[in-house]
Amino acid sequence: MADFELQRVALSTGVELDVATAGDPAAPAIVLLHGFPESHRTWRHQIPVLADRFFVIAPDQRGFARSSKPEGVASYSPDKPVGDLLALATHFGKDRFTLVGHDWGGAIAWMAALQHPDRVERLIIVNAPHPFVFQKSLFDDMAQRAASQYMRAFRDPGMEAGIAAMGIGTFFDKSFARHVDPALIAGERAAYLDEWGQPGAMTAMLNWYRASAVIVPAMDESPERPAFLDAPFPPLRMPVLVIWGTGDQALLPVQLDGLDALIPDLKVVRIDAGHFVPWEKPDAVTGAMLDWLG
């Protein structure tokens, strides 16, 4: 397990983030955004290798581990961590950067690239659905809708009480640990429980789901279809690499359908792994990144 010294960074957005950095601060920047329910440690295998060529910036995003946990669901709407990302890059003097995101970090990376192409030079997405493709699949693909029902459970205001009643250790064993290779996760359990057990962490992490505008219909529900699904969607103009663990049980391969129409400069690399491919198949992920980055 690679451990990294964290520095506390106070941002203009009003939060403080713990941030792992590596490499020459004068080198081109690459920012690594983790997702749920992790931290900068998602990238523990990639950080040392990328640091040979880049200044690596890997924060614990708001609400996670020991970073700030502002109160209220509204504090976790996607525009807030996008603001954190831009402020973090500015803090380190980086006007433009390569952006990498996994899971919720990927959702923030997609949004940042769509809204701030002047800041994002290149984009790498790891098992995180494009916002248009994801919302469309939740209406049109019943397998993906079924796979995403957990999001409705995470939005339930009673979720924390249920976790508290069973204990976070049991929650870890019965939820997260059941979806990954036991041999890979066993040695990481203590680190996860430490991060999840920080005051307010569980609510803050779940608030990312509650603050999202993504509509997740129930299996027997037929809500009104969002108008943007039947209108042109703006393409991304920067080069994009999508790395996909094809065994992901939450985000199905349908998330790759139609990406080429939304991203003119796209490369997709499929890896035989699950959702947490950065540490399930680290060498394959790092190799795909380095090959594409040239």
Q: What is the pLDDT of residue 2?
A: 57
Q: Which residues pair with 271 in a beta bridge?
A: 245
Q: What average pLDDT does the structure give for the chain?
A: 96
Q: How distant is the alpha carbon of residue 242 from its chain centre?
A: 13
Tell me the C-alpha to C-alpha distance, in Å, between residue 279 and each of 108, 188, 273.
Answer: 20, 11, 10
* Residue 37, CB-side half-sphere exposure with 13 Å CA sphere: 27
> What would the two tokens of residue 192 be?
């996860």
pTM of the model: 0.97
Beta strands 97-102 and 29-33: pairing type? parallel
pLDDT per position as a tens digit, 1-59: 357 889 999 999 999 999 999 999 999 999 999 999 999 999 999 999 999 999 999 99
What is the mean pLDDT of the segment spanning 135-160? 97
Terminal C-alpha separation, the chain = 27
d(CA 278, CA 224): 36
Give residue 1's pLDDT.
39
Determine what percent of the chain is predicted with pLDDT higher than 70.
Answer: 99
Residue 23 pLDDT: 97
Residue 136, pLDDT above cutoff 70: yes
Report the DSSP pairing between strands 16-22 and 55-59: antiparallel
Buried/exposed 190-204: b ≥16 CB within 10 Å, e otherwise: ebbeebbeeeebbbb
76 pLDDT higher than 90: yes
For position 260, what pLDDT does the model report? 96
d(CA 58, CA 288): 19
The secondary structure of the chain in percent helix, strand, coil, rounded to multiples of 5, reads 45, 15, 40
Q: Which two tokens stand for residue 91?
A: 């803090």
Query: How far is the C-alpha of 101 from the C-alpha of 123, rounded, in Å?
Result: 8
Which of the residues are catalytic? 103, 209, 275
d(CA 112, CA 99): 9
**Residue 237 falls in which region: left (phi positive, over 0), alpha (psi -120 to 50) or beta:** alpha
pLDDT in tens, 217-235: 999 999 999 999 999 999 9
Closest CA to 106 of 47, 32, 195, 207: 32
The arithmetic mean of pLDDT across residues 279-294, rounded, is 97
Q: What is the pLDDT of residues 82-111, one digit of tens each?
A: 999 999 999 999 999 999 999 999 999 999
pLDDT tens-digit series, residues 152-186: 999 999 999 999 999 999 999 998 988 888 889 98
Nearest alpha-carbon partner for 186 in 176, 196, 195:
176
The pLDDT of residue 57: 98
Instruction: Identify residue 153 by its one-letter amino acid code.
Output: A
